[in-house]
Amino acid sequence: MMLNRGAMIALKNFVLVLSASILLACSENDAPKLEEPVQNSTTTDDHSQLSDAPLNNTKAQTEFANKAFLDTLTALDALSLAVTQFTDTPNEQLFNATQARLTQAHNAYRVSSAFLALSPAHEASKFLDSYPLLPGYLDSVEGYPNSGIIHSEIPLNVSTLEDEFQFSDSMYLTLGFEAFAFILNGDPDSPVAPWRRFNDEGTDKNKHTAERRRQYLSLLSEHLVSEFKKQKLQFEQLGILNLHLLQDDAFKQAYLEAEAARFDQSLVQKISEQWAAVEQLKTEEAL
């Protein structure tokens, strides 16, 4: 039987569609099946280095650490008072008193920092105790009597000094304990008694320089207090300590060696005693 042209075209199209369907079915059966992506339930955050054990410090331990922060704030307030008295009437006696208050405040801060190092949100302010310092960036040094911010026209205010802080070198420390110590004590090789550098003696230039030193010292003291209050609040809001770190001998050794490189052994011993005391509180509560 002969098919007309229309029937032949229809039959041809049917065969093509049928062939395509067969090929598609074969392709689907032979093609490798894609596996469903595995959902990763673990996440990485800032605390990934902490022990998996719970951070179960007790209330007594938290209060013990908080006391170290309160002691630091008390010492900084005492330093501010000493600075006010000294800058009002610069003399050797008040200078010595300010030096003593500085040592007390700095040591107290290092003890509180030892607890901050156990905090999951450990983030010490760079403006408080960065180290080391380039002295000539702040004031006169041997051979460079007119160097530093003191002898410049840079305005002495917090905003400017924060902008200048480490702006092009990590040793450009315009704020913090190290800056305070150098502005107070000056170059140890200078023949001039440190406290006399704050007196309105000699030429108008000397008077202007002395005035800037008094202004700078007062600003440094105020900034230490305000910056530490922020750090204290951060610690209190968190309220937890990773005391498992105190079981890590490598951590403790590295931390204490770093402290010993800058401070007297008596301070290192104080930190060790404070850590031991806060651990002992947990033991006593368990009894």
Query: Residue 45 above 50 pLDDT?
Result: no
Q: Scan for tokens 């205010």, then name that residue.
A: 157
Spatial distance between the Cα atoms of 137 and 171, rounded to a whole number of angstroms: 9
- For residue range 127-159, list pLDDT tens digits in order: 999 999 999 999 999 999 999 999 999 999 999
3-state secondary structure 125-187: CHHHHCCCCCHHHCCCECCECCCCHHHCCCCCCHHHHHHHCCCCCCCCCCCCHHHHHHHHHCC
pLDDT digits (tens, 9 = 90+) for 170-199: 999 999 999 999 999 999 999 999 999 999
* Residue 80, token pair as written in the block: 């501010």
Query: Are residues 72 and 65 in contact, defined by beta-carbon separation less than 8 angstroms?
Result: no
pLDDT band at 284 (very low <50, low <70, confident <90, very high): low
Rounded to two decimals, the pTM is 0.80
Share of the chain above pLDDT 90, in %: 69
Phi, psi of 66 (to 5 degrees): -60, -35
pLDDT classification of 202: cutoffs 50, 70, 90? confident
Q: Which residues of 241-272 are buried (b: 16+ CB within 10 A; e: fewer)?
A: bbbbbbeeeeebeebbeebeeebeeebbebbe
pLDDT confidence bin for 18, thresholds 50/70/90? very low
List the structure tokens of 139. Answer: 């004031």
